[in-house]
Chains A and B, each alone.
Chain A
Amino acid sequence: MTFLTVVYALLFYFAFAVLVGGVGYRIWLYARTPSPLKIPTTPAPVTRSGVALRMLKEVTIFESLFKSNKWIWLFGWMFHAALFVILLRHFRYFQDPVWSWVSLVQPFGKYAAFAMLAGLGGLWARRVLVDRVKYISAPSDHLMLALLLAIGASGASMTFVSHTDIVGVKAFFLGLMRFDWQVIPTQPLLLLHITLVALLMIIFPFSKLLHAPGVFFSPTRNQVDNPREKRHVADWALKLEADRSK
């Protein structure tokens, strides 16, 4: 057992706890906060299944974003879709044996890295070059892109530039999951990559990355448009009813 192994093991337990606990708390907060009025942005679906379809389109093809700006949509969608495939590819470090579809995804995940980097680059370019987007950017908005780019670049480098000990990596993470710690490989690129990933996990619940759970709780998108058919009253508003005799 090396010192580095202990440090990274503890770091990942901590990062995982913060990510799950933090995002879990936010989800609980969103779910618990009442939405006293029906405010779906119309034309809105009038059935529950219609809402499910609307939400599915929002989170898979970014329907509203497509309507608003083709460049942001292109870069944003490229980045997210590529990240999704890349995450699927990373499943292989966390399972033994590896599911067959995870094996199938591998080559796509490999080259998706370029799409991810290009998408992030495009988004960052807009943030710098378009005066409107520059105006609304805080330092954290730039740092977030830098972090994701660095994660993508360090990851891709291990595939395309300097290979790392992926057998050792897999053993380390499987060990973490089974509480049977294994020695972590010490290549700098790998350590950089996973350090940044841990950092991202820790930042997630305190940052704008909350848009990921948030989109599902957005009343303008997730409400059924049926206020005439069905009365909709929040608990705090019901208290106002008490002093009203019909």
Chain B
Amino acid sequence: MADFEVPELKEYPVIPHLKEGVMAHSKPFIAKEQFQEQLGFPGELVDDWEQIAIDKMGELKGKYRSLQVFLDSCVKCGACTDKCHYYLGTTDPKNMPVARQDLFRQVYRRYYTLAGKYFPKLVGAKDMTREVLDDWYSYFHQCSQCRRCSVYCPYGIDTAEISMAAREVMDAVGVGQKYCNEIIGKVFKIGNNLGLPEPALADTLEGLEEEVYEDTGVKVLFPLDVKGADILLVTPSADFFAEPHVDGLIGYGKVFHEAGASWTISSHASEAANFGMFIGSYENMRNVSLRIREAALDLGVKRIVFGECGHAWRVAYSFLNTLAGPFDFLDPDYPIPQHICEYTYDLIQKGKLKLDKSENDHMVLTFHDSCNVARASRMGDKPGGQFEIPRAIIKAACNNFHDMPDWGIKEGTYCCGGGGGLLTDDLMEIRVKGALPRMEGLKQVVEEYGVTHMAAICAICKSQFAKVLPYYGFTMDQIVSVHQLVSQAIVLTPGEDEGETNDEPAAGSEDAAES
């Protein structure tokens, strides 16, 4: 199945001994000229790139306090060394957070600190050379920016910030990553990561309406570009066609239906994901975010709700107001923006959703806390709401739920292995190896409680697991969407001319008879 060795699953993550350089060969494809230039980056490695890189580094440390403080503060205590899923899965020491940061820090030291200028060997400072750049390209693309290390660092040093800065420096000298940069270009041109144009989107949504009607006998709408709707749903474009994502989207539609909400999707902002964050580019992240603002204004909505996507929710929750606000034209009675889980949870709390848990009795569930939701965002009004709310929804929709062991959930959750712009086939080895700790957690509850499925609220997690689970002896359909569970359990209220008046429910439907 693979031209690399898949790591063996243990009872729990075991700290491996170092094997230097074993992942140095892992590199994503380099972005071509046309894709670099549409984001405002040089097309290929520029002349005098060393100086440009050093200057860019100086610019960034002047713009980001995080970077300046994190570069100075590390004491090399080693607390983070065993915290990265990529280190645990690959054994390559440069995947230890502090060592990854040091690839950047060694250059910072050399050009921006007295000690590094005069005593480079003493403090481990290095010139900006081709060798260093190659190391950056390999190892800063083996970081999913999941921030697990930042939880455990006594100074809160966040490798994600350093890896974002390194990627921005690389883009500035003309060495960008294909997957991220092409995708951002598609968002600018077409509106979403997948490049689905408006007619295809309309067609897909219409197909969903038919599918749900056939299944349930109830007309659940999936509206597109409806001016004057109350709610704008912004969801990862994977939700429009991939499995199991689309089952989640059907779930959102059913929830809106039950709430009697007037809602719409926008073809202009048909993407929740924001890969601008992965490449560390404030400007690109801002430009992607502004499309959501434009769509909200254009359609005249009162609220914005985000679908299931981890880093999209980070950008939405933490950055959207900063990048594209103020959102004073929206209804201040609701959180701006709101997560679909907050929306659904609120309805459950108010008793407005009827959920038949037994519909999910064929599954025993566990929940994967997606890294960006867990460590970089919040839901509800209390710290940790992002852990409680999705679990509360799962428990409201299912009878069988068991958490994975404490070492790998909530703020200590392990990344799926595909975040941070790594969800590309050219990085399959690092993706499989990086999934190791999560797989070990899953294995434990599979053996102990007979867990059959893992639910997640992130499009990247879902895509990554669908691909990676088989490497570890699981099946790709063992990953499900949280709103897929809601979708299966929800008891729909038929419209006046549907459901009970339908003597003959749509062919092939079991659920319809009950509705």
Contact = CB atoms under 8 A, between A and B. Distances in A.
Interface of A: 26, 29-30, 33-39, 41-46, 50, 58, 62, 64-65, 67-69, 72, 76, 123, 126-127, 130-133, 135-141, 143, 206-208, 210-211, 214-215, 217-221, 225, 227-228, 230-234, 236-237, 240, 244, 246
A9 to B, nearest CB: 25
Contacts of A126: 78
Interface string B273-296: 000000000110010001000000
Interface in B278-329: 282-283, 286, 290, 297, 317-319, 321-322, 325-326
Contacts of B382: 46
Given A67-B151, A136-B98, A140-B124, A72 B78 contact: yes
Contacts of A72: 77-79
A214 B151 contact: no
A34 B76 contact: no
A210 B75 CA distance: 9
By secondary structure, the A interface counts as: helix
Given A64-B151, A139-B122, A240-B286, A214 B73 contact: yes
B155 A214 contact: yes
A187 to B, nearest CB: 31
Interface of B: 15, 17-18, 61-66, 68-70, 72-83, 93, 96, 98-99, 102, 113-115, 119, 121-124, 147, 150-158, 161, 282-283, 286, 290, 297, 317-319, 321-322, 325-326, 335-337, 374-378, 381-384, 386-387, 411-412
A218 B73 contact: yes
Contact of B74 (A58, A208, A230): A208
A76 B155 CA distance: 13
A213 B115 CA distance: 19
B65 A30 contact: yes
Contacts of A133: 76-78, 81
Contacts, number: 218
Which 4 pairs of residues, A with B, have the shortest CB-CB distance? A68-B152, A214-B73, A138-B124, A220-B156
A123 B154 CA distance: 15
A136 B81 contact: yes
Contacts of B325: 231
Contact of A43 (B64, B121, B297, B411): B411
Contacts of B83: 68
B96 A136 contact: yes
B384 A43 contact: yes
A58 B154 contact: yes
A221 to B, nearest CB: 4
A42 to B, nearest CB: 6
Given A39-B66, A72-B79, A127-B78, 11 more contacts: A34-B65, A39-B161, A69-B78, A131-B17, A135-B96, A136-B93, A140-B124, A207-B115, A214-B72, A218-B73, A218-B155
Given A136-B99, A208-B75, A218-B157, A30 B68 contact: yes
24 contacts: A26-B72, A33-B61, A34-B64, A35-B64, A38-B318, A39-B376, A41-B376, A41-B411, A42-B384, A69-B82, A133-B78, A139-B121, A208-B74, A210-B73, A218-B69, A218-B70, A218-B156, A225-B383, A227-B318, A231-B326, A232-B321, A232-B322, A234-B63, A244-B290
B375 A41 contact: yes
Contacts of B119: 140
A188 to B, nearest CB: 27
A31 to B, nearest CB: 9
A215 B73 contact: yes
Contacts of A38: 318-319, 322
Given A132-B93, A211-B155, A141 B76 contact: yes
Nearest to B386: A42
B383 to A, nearest CB: 4
Contact of B65 (A26, A42, A217, A230): A217
Contact of B64 (A33, A123, A227, A244): A33
A41 to B, nearest CB: 5
